Amino acid sequence: MTSAFLYAAARTPFGRFGGALAEVRPDDLASTALQGVLGKTPDLDPAAIGDVVWGCANQAGEDNRNVGRMAVLLAGLPVSVPATTVNRLCGSSLDAAMIASRTIESGDADIVVAGGVESMTRAPWVLPKPSRAFPAGNVTAVSTTLGWRLVNDNMPAEWTVSLGEANEMLGDKFGISRERQDEFAARSHNLAASAWDAGFYDSLVVPVAGLSRDEGIRPGSTASKLAALKPSFRPTGTITAGNASPLNDGASALVLGSSDAATRIGRAPLARIAGRGVSAVEPPMFGYAPVEAADRALARAGITWSDVSAVELNEAFAVQSLACVDAWGIDPAIVNAAGGAIAIGHPLGASGGRILGTLAERLRTSGDRWGVAAICIGVGQALAVVLENVS
């Protein structure tokens, strides 16, 4: 079986909810990311792309009807390039990359593009279709931006609590203080700002709609400033708007291929997909699910945490990130060294591609060999990928 390699990564800047990217349709965001990553492989004939696997969590509005295929057509790729859209909520684009890597390993294709998109700003309200014609009563429109919607009455109520309440429960379980969460969040903002100022993201980000830098980063954040924010989910809780990821818009894209595809792609690979892991837990504990997913990916790569020099863990909430880092027993300094989702943003379907591309760039610039990308997923799941630097 051949190995799968990551050759190129690109993403749009991540915009704030209702911010600079609010007027950009999600299929156009996806097209921009796709054009951006292919712009890094100018020698690649797009007709040689065996498949496009695209992630999207919502798919209830302008991102409906296979947004991956829409992105291919809008980006001007040959109509012969196929595409599919996958949905594993927050992990959708990392799932897309994992599917792409398996496709390459199995020999079904030599070159696959993966990625994902989300416009949380433009997520529509939806109405349930009535079971009979001409109902006389009122119907409530439900927001599709985030979280549970149109919940099945047969689902246990304790499983359908809000994402914030679920993470308050996680904080209670592991005794993670508000102070630690605020310190972690401030670190995320300051590291992201420093990484941008140092030019780390210049080669990874493709401007769109006049936005060239992630919109939500707050340089100079401190734990003491964040401590002034009120809890968002419990009157005496620990989770605030400052120590959780915001709502965002954005897209990410990756070019993957076999070793033999290097000549056609026109560049050497950055990293090998060395291990993959997926795990599931009870839905309210979703934030802790990356622990097992990453451990499984490491085992499949044949290495241990002592070999790992870089970790990209999607920061859905500071509390769940801290719970995972504590469980792994790793040095927090290797986690999200260029900032994380609390600062950069978390447009659900795009975040997995962002962390995998960022991880490859961190390994390339540092020269370190091994890295892990991991992401928690609502309704109790997680994904992880181990990269081996070959740049």
Q: Which residues are catalytic?
A: 90, 346, 376
Q: Report the alpha-carbon distance of residue 341 to residue 267 in Å, rounded.
A: 29
Judge whether 384 and 97 are in contact, CB under 8 Å.
no
Distance of CA 323 to the CA centre of its chain: 19
Q: Give the three-state DSSP class for 189.
A: helix
Reference 351, options 51, 55, 84, 60; nearest CA is 55
Q: Report the alpha-carbon distance of residue 361 to residue 353 in Å, rounded.
A: 12
Q: Within 13 Å of residue 231, how many CA atoms lie on the same side as its CB?
A: 14
Rg of the chain on CA atoms, in Å: 20
Q: Report the alpha-carbon distance of residue 13 to residue 260 in Å, rounded.
A: 32
**C-alpha separations of 241 from 58, 190, 228, 318, 323 in Å:** 22, 17, 11, 11, 19
- The two tokens of residue 334 are 């290797």
Phi-psi label, residue 65: left if phi above 0, alpha if psi -120 to 50, beta otherwise:
left
Distance of CA 245 to the CA centre of its chain: 12
Judge whether 381 and 279 are in contact, CB under 8 Å.
yes
Q: Report the alpha-carbon distance of residue 285 to residue 390 in Å, rounded.
A: 35
